[in-house]
Amino acid sequence: MQATDFVVARNDLQQCKVIETQLPDAAALPDEALLVKVTRFAFTANNITYAVMGDALKYWQLFPAPKDFGNIPVWGFGEVIASKHPGVAKGETLFGYFPMSTHLVIEAADVSKRGLRDGAAHRQGVAPVYNVYARVSGDPAFEGKQGDYQALLRPLFMLSFLVDDFLAENEFYGAKSVMLSSASSKTAYGLAHLVHARGTKVIGLTSAGNTEFVKSLGCYDDVVTYDRVNSMPTGQPVAYVDMAGNSSLREQLHRHFGEQMKYSGRVGLTHRSTAADEPELPGARPNWFFAPDQIRKRAKEWGPGGVDKRFGAAWSGFAPKLDQWMKVSESHGPAAVQRGYLDTLNGRVPPDQGLILSL
Ligand SMILES: NC(=O)c1ccc[n+]([C@@H]2O[C@H](COP(=O)([O-])OP(=O)(O)OC[C@H]3O[C@@H](n4cnc5c(N)ncnc54)[C@H](OP(=O)(O)O)[C@@H]3O)[C@@H](O)[C@H]2O)c1
């Protein structure tokens, strides 16, 4: 049986191609294995970051590809089309981390009522969250448009939720306002929605072309374009959460706010313009926000199910906004996947669009 994969050159992300690979016949699947058809997946700048960090964070190990190429992981849905596991039926729907492919073989392990794990040896070098699949058949929260929202935003909103929780726990380091770069990104506006709801001022930093969209969201108290950050008033303590990963913007902000920069957290790389060597900057030292640390800490403090319960409540307040904030654009086939990939890579996807793709 043939599968179709979309792969990118690891050292030149502009180069990409569609290839055919061989899958085992359903009858020849190893014991406990599942053959899954990837039915649809979301694609955002976050997936480009997986590719940029593919070697450093071992994402390339998850879904093997030909030498010098990588298969970018995506969040989405799959349907079990053959099962050698007694606890998982053909026809089940799984939500989780998939390759940009038509199919995936999963070595089902730790099968429970709610989920399972891929126990394949080559997948064990990454955080456990990347190998877990939720069993979502018949769950209306994962069907139709709600399912698209889950694929497009749930993994991103987890980061938004954890950063908001971390900042609130630390009383925003004394900051009176929080600035977010790439304010038009889904991760940023999820965070803006949560911080704004606490009554803390949120300032969105964005490109000129995305300003109207960011203003229209209503969760930013102020919107400033990148070329005007030096005009922001400097009298009060501020915090910065960086989705853009733009070194010169970070330097400009630190020099502008000086010691009033009370927190500087790095989260993303949408602009892909991070300098190899960065100078010492005034104000708080810029540090990567490491989500697994905050999850582990809260899992211990909040007890079993505590993170899920609070995240679920936050998601319930956020998801209804998406009908106004995002148009889902669904397209299928290799040409559509290639177009969606290159448009995202080159910053051509309007911020109000959420791409749902399949090969
Ligand atoms: N550390 C973590 O655990 C974690 C978790 C979730 C997300 N993130 C990161 O957060 C960032 C946002 O991800 P997302 O999926 O939410 O993004 P998204 O919604 O796809 O964001 C799109 C926005 O990013 C900027 N952008 C994208 N491509 C660009 C390009 N080629 N050139 C210049 N600007 C570009 C633009 O914003 P502006 O015009 O407003 O700059 C654009 O509107 C990613 O880097 C992602 O990896 C990190």
Q: How many domains does the chain have?
A: 2
Ligand 1 centroid – CA 81 distance (Å): 34
207 pocket-lining for ligand 1 (C-beta < 6 Å): yes
CA distance 58 to 70: 11
183 pocket-lining for ligand 1 (C-beta < 6 Å): yes
Ligand 1 centroid – CA 266 distance (Å): 12
184 pocket-lining for ligand 1 (C-beta < 6 Å): yes
Ligand 1 centroid – CA 17 distance (Å): 23
Ligand 1 atom, smallest distance to 48 CA: 47
pTM over 0.95: yes
**306 belongs to a structural domain:** no
Mean pLDDT of 241-250: 97
Q: Can you read off the two tokens belonging to residue 197?
A: 């709801």
**pLDDT for 303-316, tens place per residue?**
999 999 999 999 99
**pLDDT for 60-77, tens place per residue?**
999 999 999 999 999 999
- Residue where a domain stops, chosen among 252, 271, 294: 294
**149 belongs to a structural domain:** no
Q: Do 290 and 333 belong to one domain? A: no
Q: Do 194 and 255 belong to one domain? A: yes
**pLDDT for 135-172, tens place per residue?**
999 999 999 999 999 999 999 999 999 999 999 999 99
**317 belongs to a structural domain:** no
Structure confidence at residue 127 (pLDDT): 86
Which strands sit side by side in the sheet containing 2-9, from one edge to the other? 12-22, 2-9, 69-70
Q: Do 195 and 228 belong to one domain? A: yes
- Residue where a domain stops, chosen among 294, 318, 337: 294
Domain span holding position 103: 2-138+326-358
101 pocket-lining for ligand 1 (C-beta < 6 Å): no
Mean pLDDT of 103-107: 97
Residues in the chain, overall count = 359
Q: Do 126 and 171 belong to one domain? A: no
Structure confidence at residue 276 (pLDDT): 85
250 pocket-lining for ligand 1 (C-beta < 6 Å): no
Mean pLDDT of 209-223: 98
Alpha-helical regions (H) of the chain: 45-52, 144-169, 186-197, 211-217, 247-257, 291-302, 306-318, 322-325, 334-345
**pLDDT for 276-334, tens place per residue?**
888 999 999 999 999 989 999 999 999 999 999 999 999 999 999 999 999 999 999 99
Q: Do 270 and 335 belong to one domain? A: no
Structure confidence at residue 197 (pLDDT): 97
